[in-house]
């Protein structure tokens, strides 16, 4: 963080749906272990240095608050910042989290309105839980603290805070896409959500596309708001209040991934994977079980490539890891059945003695295993139908120490805005196009792979998670207009996507 920012700032209060620790009950007693992930890694040093609090749900519904607070005390001390739990009942969890957040906002913001379940009771619960979060923040915050709220679960928290008289500077970052007006307007509570968002002071999006969609929605739905653009931001003015909207593409701790990829454990795991799958290229897909990740289309594309390019038979294996997620929601279980059926069909059609085309893994990998796959795979096939950013793409690049990998990336992942020059881009609905990209990757020369991967690695190294945190905080606290590299919007080419190999 810049010196000016540090001088002007109070503490930092981070708010997210979940706390960055995992609470577990063993033999009746609660224990905690640190959570993982780039966000915690990047924010922890800032929280420690500057002093701060992380507010979020503990992960255990219907728990006794005193017991949770006691369990969190130890973690707060070892983390060097305070953890404060917002208690949620099972009913709140069902209606606010599974319901409004994951059966309405998640599908709608990923352009899948047909997956939405617009149950009015979900809205009441969402408002109620956002109010509850606001009450806990209100109790925790002092006058000069900067409050940074994360993600779609908490879109209406700022307006609740303002209603309670909280005048602190409030930042918000949306990790998922923001949809265009014709989709956003399907939301029965579109007016309330959009107006509530204007109670923040700074709103960060992953891409220019998301920011543009948001600004268009404001222009069309809230015509009394004056909008101007200045120094990379859109500034939305309502009376005396100004809200700034900017673009801050999230990233990873590049140095940590690169370092960890060299560990003995990872090297061994990579060696075992190659031993088990000798003389062939490994194509890697890693996704949470989610319909936005485009897994069935990807499997169809792999089948199409095997049918059209017999020289790939026995020379390529797709390792598809699906990490269990939201399995209580029926749509997710349907997706699991669909994936497993397709894997069965494809393996049934092509398997030969000694070669199974798809290795399907349905479980959470350890970090060592995950990095082992990143290091080993010659091709990463990342084809979400829509994705805020997609960190798997960046992690693969950081772990590709030999610079021999090819990144095949969806045009609709946020990461495309930064990686489009050197990845092979695909439309995730275009089965033949993805199959062509697979063949292009399969036959790409080492020199070409190296050239592309070098540039990809340089980009991810330069714009890492630390730069992301710093840019957002600098913009929010010192009201710098913009210090993130200006990122152009990715617009698909008018002919077919560039999957050709440049000379
Ligand atoms: C949301 C937005 C945005 C995955 N499998 C395993 C595992 N992972 C880790 C990866 C990566 C993370 O999970 C997945 O991050 P993504 O960005 O790909 O996707 P979402 O979970 O949907 O995240 C997304 C992100 O927020 C950040 O703003 O990019 O667009 O949807 O870090 O490494 N980790 C381990 N085992 C696994 O099996 N250990």
Q: How is residue 246 written in tokens?
A: 């900017």
Ligand 1 pocket residues where CB is under 6 Å? 175-176, 250, 286, 288, 321, 323, 364-365, 367, 370, 387-392, 395
The pLDDT assigned to 494 comes to: 67
Residue 9: count other Cβ atoms within 10 Å of its Cβ. Answer: 20
Q: How far is CA 450 from the centre of its chain?
A: 27
DSSP codes, 258-282: HHHTTSHHHHHHHHHHHHHSTTSEE
C-alpha of residue 197 to centroid of ligand 1, in Å: 25
Report which protein residue has its CA nearest ligand 1's atom 10. 392
Q: Which two tokens stand for residue 199?
A: 């109670």
Q: How far is the CA of 480 from the centre of ligand 1 (A)?
A: 30
In 3D space, the residue among 209, 199, 210 whose CA is nearest the CA of residue 236 turns out to be: 199
Out of 14, 391, 410, 460, mutate this one to test ligand 1's pocket (max ligand atoms within 8 Å of CB): namely: 391
Hey, whose CA ends up nearest to atom 39 of ligand 1? 367
Pick the residue whose CA is nearest to atom 3 on ligand 1: 389
Give the pLDDT of residue 233. Answer: 92
Closest residue by Cα to atom 23, ligand 1, is 390
Q: How far is residue 461's CA from residue 458's CA, in Å, rounded to a whole number?
A: 5
Q: Name the residue of 42, 389, 399, 472 whose CB sits within 8 Å of the most ligand 1 atoms, as the mutation to test its pocket.
A: 389
| Alpha carbons 467 and 252: distance in angstroms, whole number | 10
Give the CA radius of gyration of the chain. Answer: 23
Q: Which residues of the chain have pLDDT under 70?
A: 1-9, 36-38, 478-488, 494-503
**Closest approach atom of ligand 1 to CA 363:** 38
- What b/e readout covers 23-48, taking b as 16+ CB neighbours within 10 angstroms? beeeeeebebeebeebbbbbbbebbe
Residue nearest to atom 26 of ligand 1 (CA): 175
CB atoms within 10 A of CB 333: 13
Q: How far apart are CA 203 and CA 174, in angstroms?
A: 8
Question: Which residue intervals of 95-156 are DSSP H helices?
Answer: 106-109, 120-140
**Nearest protein CA to atom 21 of ligand 1, as residue:** 288
Query: What is the best residue among 39, 384, 392 to mutate for testing ligand 1's pocket, by most ligand atoms within 8 Å of CB?
Result: 392
Cα separation, 380 vs 461, whole angstroms: 18
Q: Which residues are catalytic?
A: 175, 387
Question: Could you tell me the two tokens for 116?
Answer: 């939405």
Instruction: Mention every residue, 6+ apart, whose C-beta is less than 8 A from residue 63.
Output: 87
Best CA proximity match to 117, nearest among 186, 185, 18, 177: 186
User: Which of 107, 99, 292 lies closest to 183, judged by CA?
Assistant: 107
Q: Which atom of ligand 1 is nearest to the CA of 415?
A: 29
DSSP, residue by residue, 434-480:
HHHHHHHHHH--HHHHHHHHHHHHHHHHHS-HHHHHHHHHHHHHS--
pLDDT at 496: 53
Residue 250 Cα to ligand 1 middle (Å):
12
Question: What is the whole-number distance in angstroms between the Cα of residue 450 and the centre of ligand 1?
Answer: 26
DSSP-derived 3-state class of residue 187: coil
User: Which ligand 1 atom minimizes the distance to the CA of 206?
Assistant: 28
Residue 187 alpha carbon to ligand 1 centre in Å: 26
At CA 331, angle to CA 196 and CA 89, rounded to 5? 55
pTM: 0.94
Q: Give residue 30's pLDDT.
A: 86
- Token pair listed for 502: 């440049």
Could you tell me the distance, in angstroms and rounded to a whole number, from the CA of residue 391 to the centre of ligand 1? 6
Residue 358 and residue 320 in contact, taking contact as beta carbons nearer than 8 Å: yes
């Amino acid at each position: 963080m810049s010196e000016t920012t540090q001088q002007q700032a109070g503490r930092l209060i981070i708010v997210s749906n979940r706390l960055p620790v995992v609470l577990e009950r063993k033999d009746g007693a609660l224990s905690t272990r640190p959570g993982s992930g780039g966000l915690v890694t990047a924010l922890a040093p800032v929280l420690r240095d500057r002093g701060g609090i992380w507010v979020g749900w503990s992960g255990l519904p219907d728990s006794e608050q005193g017991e949770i607070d006691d369990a969190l005390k130890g973690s707060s001390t070892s983390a060097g910042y305070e953890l404060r739990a917002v208690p949620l009942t099972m009913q709140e969890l069902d209606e606010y989290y599974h319901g409004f957040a994951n059966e309405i906002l998640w599908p709608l913001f990923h352009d899948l309105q047909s997956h939405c379940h617009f149950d009015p009771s979900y809205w009441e619960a969402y408002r109620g839980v956002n109010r509850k979060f606001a009450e806990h923040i209100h109790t925790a915050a002092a006058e000069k603290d900067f409050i940074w709220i994360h993600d779609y679960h908490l879109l209406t928290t700022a307006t609740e805070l303002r209603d309670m008289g909280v005048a602190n500077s409030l930042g918000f970052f949306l990790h998922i896409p923001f949809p265009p007006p014709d989709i956003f307007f399907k939301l029965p509570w579109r007016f309330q959500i959009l107006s509530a968002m204007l109670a923040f002071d700074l709103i960060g999006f992953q891409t220019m596309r998301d920011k543009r969609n948001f600004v268009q929605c404001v222009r069309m739905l809230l015509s009394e708001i004056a909008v101007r653009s200045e120094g990379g931001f859109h500034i939305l003015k309502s009376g005396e209040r100004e809200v700034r909207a900017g673009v801050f593409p999230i990233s990873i701790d590049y140095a940590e991934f690169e370092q960890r990829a060299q560990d003995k454990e990872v090297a061994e795991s990579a060696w075992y994977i190659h031993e088990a799958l000798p003389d062939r290229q490994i194509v890697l897909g890693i996704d949470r079980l989610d319909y936005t990740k485009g897994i069935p289309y990807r499997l169809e594309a792999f089948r199409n490539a095997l049918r059209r390019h017999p020289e790939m038979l026995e020379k390529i294996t797709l390792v598809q890891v699906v990490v269990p997620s939201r399995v209580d929601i029926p749509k997710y279980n349907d997706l699991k059945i669909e994936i497993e059926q397709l894997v069965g069909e494809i393996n049934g059609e092509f398997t030969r003695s000694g070669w199974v085309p798809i290795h399907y893994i349905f479980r959470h990998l350890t970090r060592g295993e995950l990095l082992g796959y990143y290091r080993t795979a010659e091709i990463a096939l990342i084809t979400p139908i829509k994705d805020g950013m997609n960190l798997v793409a960046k992690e693969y690049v950081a772990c590709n120490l030999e610079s021999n990998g090819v990144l095949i990336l969806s045009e609709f992942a946020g990461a495309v805005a930064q990686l489009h020059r050197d990845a092979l881009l695909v439309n995730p609905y275009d089965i033949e196009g993805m199959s062509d990209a697979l063949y292009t990757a399969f036959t790409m020369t080492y020199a070409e792979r190296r050239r592309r991967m070098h540039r990809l690695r340089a980009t991810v190294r330069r714009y890492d998670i630390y730069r992301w945190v710093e840019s957002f905080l600098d913009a929010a606290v010192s009201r710098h207009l913009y210090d993130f590299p200006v990122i152009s919007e990715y617009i698909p080419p008018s002919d077919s996507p560039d999957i050709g190999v440049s000379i």
